[in-house]
Chains A and B, each alone.
Chain A
Amino acid sequence: MVPISYNVRSLAVRRTTTLATAFGIALVVFVLASSLMLGAGIKKTMGSSGRPEHGFVLRKGSDAELASSIENRLVSLVLAAPGVARDSAGAPIGVGEVVLVIAAEKEGTEGQVSNVQVRGTTEAAFALRPEVHIVAGRRAQPGTDEVIIGSRIRGRFKGVDLDRSFELKKNRPVKVVGVFESGGSSFESEIWADIDTVRTSFGREGVVSSVTARLDRATNFEGFESTVETDKQLGLDAERENVYYDKQSEDTMKFVMGMGIVISVLFSVGAMIGAMITMYAAVSQRRREVGTLRALGFSRFAILTSFLIEAFLLALLGGAVGAAFASAMAFVRFSMMNFATWSEVVFSFTPTPKILIMSVLAGGIMGVLGGFFPALNAARTSPIEAMRG
């Protein structure tokens, strides 16, 4: 086998060409890794909102909290179903909530409005979702016009910031007293208000949008589901919470991934062509060297592998640079409309080791594919002709 140091030195000699080609591949890997990271970010955000051990109930036929309305009296009925976990005092852990979308004016724009999700909830939500914790200010006083906001929308909309206020209804300002985090879930893009404030502001008296209940064990869901759904009169539909949130993000996810993949494929064809040009030039410049190597006794296969390794190294360099730049995207927040709720959810680019390794390898593969024909060309070199010049 031809030593790899030979390839490394060859790449180093033609520095400009190597860097130009590697940079091209780096850009492609950057785009690929970024779109995968955004996909992972969406998955993480929506995935951590729902848990398999939570039962989630909507009115039958509704596929989102926005379209659903359940009579208030059914909340206690759902929470009394078998399998629902109870706290130390014996009360079921769960909550009925009203969810709405409001138009809020974006900070720093002139009248640009965007939709934000508002959740009318009670203290029980904190027991149900222990990952929710206040990072600034304090919890809202139950039964008042105080609200808390998710950390990701803080400062994005007019009045949606600590100690400021905005209107849910004319002459009914609500005051932001706290900012919360919830482990990166989509709740961080919501406003949480008192359930009765939301009800009276929006004429939702006597109803909730959804009921969420903690189950003793995730395996208890079937029992819970059949109890909730058996009475057809109630007209309720139960799901695991994580299944619901997965469905909510499905369209957005498909959209981002589809777009990312189409773009990456087109781009990688470009990068492969770049690698091919560079490797063809490398082969033709070193025709004589290759002839010498062949004359020294290196087999055609050794030459082929040698050039493939060179192309792979070249592309790997690009891939590593691209992945490194993509990791920096982790600090970027990406605000996007969730097509299922018509409201804005803020996602982050989430780099996972798998994505980074895969993208670097994808870069390397582009190099190998682009380098294959040039390497084949080199392997076919006849030693006598090559050395004759």
Chain B
Amino acid sequence: MNIAEIAARNVLRNKTRTLLTMFGVAIAIVAFILLRTVLDAWMVAAEHAAKDRIATRHKVTFVMQLPKRYVEEIRNTPGIKDVTWMNWFGAKDPKNEREFFATIAVDPKSFLQVYDEIVIPPDQIESWLTNRRGAVVGDVLAKQRGWKVGDRITLRGTIYPGDWDFQISGIYSAKRKSMDRNTFWFHWDYLNESAPLRARDTVGWIAARIDDPARAASLSQAIDKKFEERDTQTLTMSERAMNVSFLGMLSAILRALDIISVVILVIMTLILGNTIAMGVRERTHEYGTLRAIGFLPRHLVAFVLVEGMTIGILGGGLGLLIAYPFVNHGLGRWLEENMGGFFPYFRIENTTAVAAMGLAIAFSLIAAALPAYRAANLKVTDALRRVG
């Protein structure tokens, strides 16, 4: 039996305490993983954004539109491959006004070219292109609302007043994690023909694919320069930059979650450190004996550190075991289905799991450090004299 084994066996000395501590560590790891996953889920939008896409909007306010003719001008800019345009429609389902989902008017043909991560069965694309009132909805949204291909539905406009009739032509899924699967896409022509006169032939934003992702910044500048002296100026950004700026508006929350995820590790360390310190205090007499028969201080340090690490590993492992089903299947599924706009993809990243395990071990060593130091510096005579 080597020292490490003896140390590991020490954790069985007080089973209740070890078990409780393990649970404490496990809970902390679950909380940590949950918080990191929330952060990751937000970052997904920025990290998985298409690198070869740029979007142009009104320079000052997203409330105002761009003239439709800007689309052609952007198309004619060297370096641009495909162009499409969209309008935020902002409608609600009168049967369920509380639950929000995005409704966007698009030009189907060019839209599917620019957003090639959207997956729709070919026959459904065919019927969407020919049906002027046709709409395509995300699979998550369709499931949540119980919509099927062929269903006729009516939405109530909040920006464009009135009731609007649609027919579901298809249901899409996405190849890219950053794509929201909760959106309702429909024909821009349908909106344009029925919109009030002053809102006609205007577009909310223009999205374009570019030849060379490395030129996203310079192309964006070139486009903005083109419209600099016109009535309506533009703001062009890469898809990634746009998602990052959206995250910037949530930066205070992100920072708070970041801090809290560290706080939980500190709480975990306190619980762990307390347990190990108690164990060491109770065994003072024993350690005195070990020293007396020739074990060196470094042996005692090893005893304590390995004991702490064992609890850390067991607790961390238990935490991962709980976290995976809880986050990936329970909460994650629920969030993807109900808050897909914020969390299109809510799963534990492998790096998060590895980091959590690593931190559980690292912090258990930190927690064990002080008790280990105390054990090593015991005077044999004091230790043996002490009644504990």
Contacts and interface: CB of A to CB of B under 8 A. Distances in A.
A280 B63 contact: no
Contacts of A262: 34
A270 to B, nearest CB: 5
Contact of A274 (B24, B158, B251): B24
B3 interface: no
Nearest to A62: B158
A287 to B, nearest CB: 12
Contacts of B233: 170
Contact of A277 (B24, B228, B245): B24
A203 B63 CA distance: 11
A276 B162 CA distance: 61
Contacts of A59: 161
A342 interface: yes
A31 B64 contact: no
A280 B158 contact: no
Interface in B277-326: 277-278
Secondary structure of the B contact surface, majority rule: helix
A295 interface: no
Contacts of A226: none
Contacts of A357: none
A178 interface: no
Contacts of B252: 334-336
Given A103-B61, A263-B35, A263-B260, A276 B20 contact: yes
Contacts of A66: 63
Interface stretch (A22-30, A141-149, A378-386): A22-30
A63 B274 contact: no
B250 A336 contact: yes
A202 B60 CA distance: 9
Which of B30, B157, B264 has most A Cβ within 10 Å? Answer: B264
Contacts of A64: 158
B245 A100 contact: no
Interface residues of B, number: 51
A17 B274 contact: yes
Contacts of A281: 17, 278
Given A100-B63, A266-B27, A273 B271 contact: yes
B161 A270 contact: no
Nearest to A69: B159
Interface string B51-95: 000000001111110000000000000000000000000100000
Contact of A20 (B16, B27, B256, B274): B274
A220 interface: no
B21 interface: yes
A30 B159 CA distance: 42
A284 to B, nearest CB: 8
Interface in A326-371: 334-337, 342, 344
Contacts of A20: 270, 273-274, 277
A272 to B, nearest CB: 9
A102 B62 CA distance: 7
B263 A266 contact: no
B159 A62 contact: yes
B61 A267 contact: no
B148 interface: no
A59 B159 CA distance: 9
B12 interface: no
B275 A277 contact: yes
Contacts of B222: none
B270 A263 contact: no
A213 B166 CA distance: 38
A24 B235 contact: no
A113 interface: yes
Contacts of B30: 266
Contacts of A109: 248
A229 to B, nearest CB: 15
Contacts of A129: none
A102 B61 CA distance: 4
B168 interface: no
A269 interface: yes
B249 interface: yes
B27 A27 contact: no
Nearest to A170: B233
A67 B62 CA distance: 11
A169 interface: yes
Q: 9 tightest A-B contacts by CB?
A: A273-B24, A337-B249, A266-B31, A24-B270, A274-B271, A20-B274, A67-B159, A270-B27, A20-B270
5 contacts: A64-B158, A112-B245, A113-B235, A263-B260, A273-B24
Given A24-B267, A263-B31, 20 more contacts: A20-B274, A20-B277, A21-B270, A61-B156, A61-B157, A63-B158, A67-B90, A67-B159, A112-B248, A113-B245, A113-B248, A202-B63, A259-B257, A266-B30, A277-B17, A277-B21, A277-B278, A335-B251, A336-B252, A342-B62
Interface of A: 16-17, 20-21, 23-24, 27-28, 30-31, 59-64, 66-67, 100-103, 106, 109, 112-115, 167-170, 201-203, 235, 259, 262-263, 266-267, 269-271, 273-274, 276-278, 280-281, 334-337, 342, 344
Interface of B: 16-17, 20-21, 23-24, 27-28, 30-31, 34-35, 38, 59-64, 90, 156-159, 161-162, 228, 233, 235, 245, 248-253, 256-257, 260, 263-264, 266-268, 270-271, 273-275, 277-278
